[in-house]
Amino acid sequence: MEKQKLLAQGKAKSMYETDSESVLLMEFRDDASAFDGKKMSALNNKGKVNNQFNAFILDLLAKQGIETHFIETISTHESLVKKLDMFPIECVVRNRATGSLCRRLGVEDGLILDPPLFEFFLKDDALGDPLINENHILSFKWASQSDIDEMKRLTFQVNEILRELFDKANLILVDYKLEFGKFEGRVLLGDEFTPDGCRLWDKDTLEKLDKDRFRQDLGDVIESYQEVANRLGIEINLD
């Protein structure tokens, strides 16, 4: 598969066209960003760690019946994916309250949410990714009711699978963000699942092992991602 024209350059990944119209090359760069791009930095090995972390998780989800865009890794920091028609929406599930939820509703940090809380955000950096609801999605025609239902169903199914996976690694899956798109009429999981888009706390110490280490200047960002990978049995190749 040949790497062709750059299609889109996001804050952490670059998407390239390939010689197949339905396949994209997803390159994980070393760039880290937070606060809608207001804080940016390059972190050594981030691209490699996230590419291989994402491959492990999306492969595991596929084995559990969740259809994703992931095809295969082709280098330490690049993967091939199906080209999706992305919804401009982020699906967030929270098992514990933290981050923007605590700021918005004044609830205690770490509060257990039972049932887990589902939220939609609009993918728009210029607007600061605002919180939206299903009515916004329908009125602005960002997705149909059946697509909304499918995104919610899949996001909760991912929660069941990954909560258990991380629990076995002595980690709490606090919250995470997923993005979906359409492929041949079906709703597929796209983008990535890495410590960049979720929160993971050590079960005993509640130490943060995710992108909050970058957001809050806690240090050892990539070392923490590698610690999570190690606990999951993912062998990361940094060559």
CA 16, 212, 169, 150 dihedral sign is: negative
Within 8 A by CB and 6+ apart from 121, the residues are: 89, 90, 92, 129, 130, 131, 132, 177
Position 92 contacts ligand TYD (CB under 6 A): yes
Nearest to 10 by CA among 236, 203, 24, 167: 24
Backbone angles phi, psi at 192, to 5 degrees: -150, 160
Nearest position to ligand ATP, beta carbon: 10
Stretch that binds ligand TYD, among 3-11, 21-29, 153-161, 194-202 (CB under 6 A): 194-202
Position 178 contacts ligand TYD (CB under 6 A): no
Nearest to 66 by CA among 137, 148, 150: 150
Nearest position to ligand TYD, beta carbon: 99
CA 77 – CA 13 distance, rounded (Å): 10
Choosing from 15, 43, 113, 122, the residue that interacts with ligand ATP (CB under 6 A) is 15
Position 47 contacts ligand ATP (CB under 6 A): no
Task: Tell me the sheet residues that pair with 215.
Answer: none
Choosing from 10, 88, 99, 116, the residue that interacts with ligand TYD (CB under 6 A) is 99
Contact 81, 142 (CB under 8 A): no
Closer to ligand TYD by Cβ: residue 107 or 238? 107
Q: What is the 3-state composition of the chain as percent helix, strand, coil, each rounded to the nearest 5? A: 30, 35, 35
Closer to ligand TYD by Cβ: residue 70 or 121? 121
Question: How many residues of this chain interact with ligand ATP, rule: CB under 6 A?
Answer: 17
Choosing from 27, 147, 175, 191, the residue that interacts with ligand TYD (CB under 6 A) is 175
Contact 35, 215 (CB under 8 A): yes
Position 142 contacts ligand TYD (CB under 6 A): no
Position 83 contacts ligand ATP (CB under 6 A): yes
CA 97 – CA 116 distance, rounded (Å): 10
Choosing from 28, 52, 197, 228, the residue that interacts with ligand TYD (CB under 6 A) is 197
Nearest to 51 by CA among 230, 196, 188: 196
Position 84 contacts ligand ATP (CB under 6 A): yes
Where b means 16+ CB within 10 Å and e means fewer, 187-207 reads bbbbbbbbbbbbbbbbeeeee
Instruction: Report what 86 binds from ligand TYD, ligand ATP, none; CB cut-off 5-8 Å by kind.
Output: ligand ATP
Shortest distance, position 177 Cβ to ligand ATP, whole Å: 8
Choosing from 48, 69, 83, 199, the residue that interacts with ligand TYD (CB under 6 A) is 199
Residues of this chain that bind ligand TYD (CB under 6 A): 90, 92, 99-101, 121, 129, 175-177, 197-199
Residues of this chain that bind ligand ATP (CB under 6 A): 8, 10-13, 15, 24, 69, 81-84, 86, 179, 181, 190-191
